[in-house]
Chains A and B, each alone.
Chain A
Amino acid sequence: MNAISTTPYIVSNKKLTLSDPDWVRYTLIGIALSIIGLFLVFPLAIVLIEAFSKGWSAYSASLTHPDALSAMRLTLLVAVVAVPLTTVFGISAAWAIARFDFRGKSLLITLIDLPFSVSPVIAGLIYVLVFGAQGWLGPWLSEHNIKIIFAVPGIILATLFVTFPFVARELIPLMQEMGHEEEEAALSLGATGWQTFFKITLPNIKWALLTGVLLCNARAMGEFGAVSVVSGHIRGLTNTLPLHIEVSYNEYDFVGAFAGASLLAALAIVTLVFKTLLEWKQNQDLKAARLAAAE
């Protein structure tokens, strides 16, 4: 009798006090959705509205303008060089940090994260102070007729700085959590280091690695502040797509600016969609691995 009467009491008590009153719930959801709509959805819509404000022909004309095309080519070139370098660095840093113990490891992790907390403008400034005309290597470089600042190499260097932690910070926590029993098993069965990496490690980290590469690529193609300092804004030569957007906007060519912006916004959306998919994949794999380990 006692048991029968207390059970419903506890259930109703739970409902009363553990969930927020309806008016609180609806107010909070309302505020959250308004903020997200106002700050995240509306701006994306504006990009498209402004880009097509003078019709499709104006849109396609500004995207096929020689300056726009050369900006796109340069942006692709920068990404093609920067993303593989950051990826190779990220994998080797994760291997060293997650698979071995050594002194100064936490300092190394902090240093790898450092570019995240440096203002992009300072990322550009430091390269100007090394390679610029007034910089440490400036006189030597001009003697040998090598141009880094206000040229493509400077843009690539600044991009390498701002994308520096992207792959490493995706891989390090995952590889630390994974442990190295599987790799040790393969090694003790006679696999070489590279075989172990490609057959054991890589399949385990592939989704996180792809996420890191994807985010790195988005930043490499979209970086503005650091690149702006070292580029010199030479039209058709050192303008990346984000710089081309800035120049067009400042010259009141709004269709041109937003047409370029629409490409980068599309890149951002594609990046987010794939990131969500990859995180879901990664969680599935982790769950499967835990289930297998439990059995």
Chain B
Amino acid sequence: MPQSKIMPGFRPAIGLTLVYLALIVLIPLSAMLLKAMQLSFDEYWAILTNHRVQASFRVSFGSALIAAAIAAVFGFIIAWSLVRYTFPGKRLIDALIDMPFALPTAVAGIVLATIYEPQGWIGKLVMDNFGIQIAYKPLGIVVALIFIGLPFVVRTIEPVLQELDLAVEEAAASLGATRLQAFVKVILPNILPATITGFALAFARGVGEYGSVIFIAGNMPYISEIVPLLIITKLEQYEYAGATAIGMTMLILSFLLLLLINGLQWWVRRRSGQL
């Protein structure tokens, strides 16, 4: 039911859209669903409760969670500095924030591995001074996922912070609030939804991330093996049932995260008065 009687092209446009959507996204995704439904519940359960599979889920979700939390804190500081302060080179730095979006993950992967390996630029520094090895350990995965997650947080907080009405802070200040009180009671509640959304986006991306992680992770089964890598390993061993069951579980979890993120974004828009 087109809203405008004279606007042409609804049928061809929606037709092309739906056919292309079906061919590229929906049919291949349902192929995995069908394959997963061929498995009995017991088979599915046996695959998912396998120790190595469970360890990989713990590694992927655990490191994505820690990385997203760290990215949320630093992303907040970066967004705050970019919106509230002026300093030389600010525009250039603002453009640089998107670098992890634009840089191919394989490039990020080999660069981060080179920097953080025990003999690497920063890896050696940390190894010599603190005795902590970053690359080829779960910590390496966290480092790669902070890199990947940072722009999600900054780009979600930035617009909300820009829209934030200074009059509210002024009111708090003129009523005698200290700067810290104004921040905690007035500013923080307003940007908290955006920060949580950025955190969720970084987490969702981190859980499925492959390219930037595998070079730095070490990929030790049970210790630093991420779920996407385990899927590839199963495929290479022709264990299609295993790959499908793990892939399907990941897909369902991504769907749930997507729903959660959509809800959070709705919350952000309502809080900032766009709804």
Contact = CB atoms under 8 A, between A and B. Distances in A.
B17 A93 contact: yes
A290 interface: no
Contacts of A223: 104
Contact of A121 (B24, B29, B208): B208
A257 B110 CA distance: 8
A40 B96 contact: yes
21 contacts: A21-B179, A28-B85, A32-B82, A33-B81, A42-B121, A43-B112, A47-B107, A100-B1, A100-B13, A111-B26, A114-B258, A117-B258, A121-B228, A129-B32, A135-B31, A187-B8, A188-B6, A196-B8, A224-B211, A246-B106, A272-B102
B104 A187 contact: no
Contact of A222 (B6, B105, B177, B244): B105
A123 to B, nearest CB: 8
Given A126-B29, A225-B105, A242-B211, A14 B9 contact: no
A117 B254 contact: yes
Interface of A: 10, 13-14, 16-18, 20-21, 25, 28-29, 31-33, 35-36, 38-44, 46-47, 50, 85, 88-89, 92-93, 95-96, 99-103, 108, 110-115, 117-122, 125-130, 134-136, 157, 160-161, 164, 180, 183-184, 187-188, 192-193, 196-197, 215, 218, 221-225, 228-229, 242-243, 245-246, 249, 254, 257-258, 261, 264-265, 268-269, 271-273, 275-276
- Residue of A44, A118, A120 ringed by the most chain B CB atoms within 10 A: A118
A96 B231 CA distance: 37
Central interface residue in B93, B106, B182, by most chain A CB within 10 Å: B106
Interface stretch (B48-56, B129-137, B156-164, B166-174): B166-174
Contact of A43 (B1, B78, B95, B111): B111
Interface in B52-103: 74, 77-78, 80-82, 84-85, 87, 93, 95-103
Contacts, number: 280
Interface in B1-55: 1-4, 6-10, 12-14, 16-17, 20-21, 24-29, 31-32, 34-35
A99 to B, nearest CB: 5
Contact of A126 (B31, B95, B238, B261): B31
B97 A40 contact: yes
Contact of B208 (A40, A118, A135): A118
Given A32-B77, A222-B103, A125 B170 contact: no
A117 B261 CA distance: 10
Contacts of A18: 166, 169-170, 173
B166 A31 contact: no
Prevailing SS type, chain B contact patch: helix
B208 A112 contact: no
Given A41-B96, A115-B25, A121-B208, A180 B7 contact: yes
A248 B229 CA distance: 19
B199 interface: no
B179 A20 contact: yes
Interface string B177-200: 111001000000000000000000
B227 to A, nearest CB: 8
B102 A218 contact: yes
Interface of B: 1-4, 6-10, 12-14, 16-17, 20-21, 24-29, 31-32, 34-35, 74, 77-78, 80-82, 84-85, 87, 93, 95-112, 114-115, 121-122, 146-147, 150, 166, 169-170, 173-174, 177-179, 182, 204, 207-211, 215, 227-229, 231-232, 235, 238, 240, 243-244, 247, 250-251, 254-255, 257-258, 261-262
Given A31-B77, A129-B244, A245 B107 contact: yes
Given A14-B173, A125-B247, A265-B107, A119 B208 contact: yes
Contact of B105 (A10, A93, A224): A224
A242 B147 CA distance: 18
A242 B106 contact: yes
B197 to A, nearest CB: 14
B7 A13 contact: no
Given A29-B87, A128-B235, A215-B101, 16 more contacts: A29-B81, A31-B77, A32-B78, A35-B150, A40-B97, A42-B115, A96-B13, A96-B14, A99-B13, A129-B35, A134-B240, A161-B24, A224-B211, A242-B106, A272-B98, A272-B99
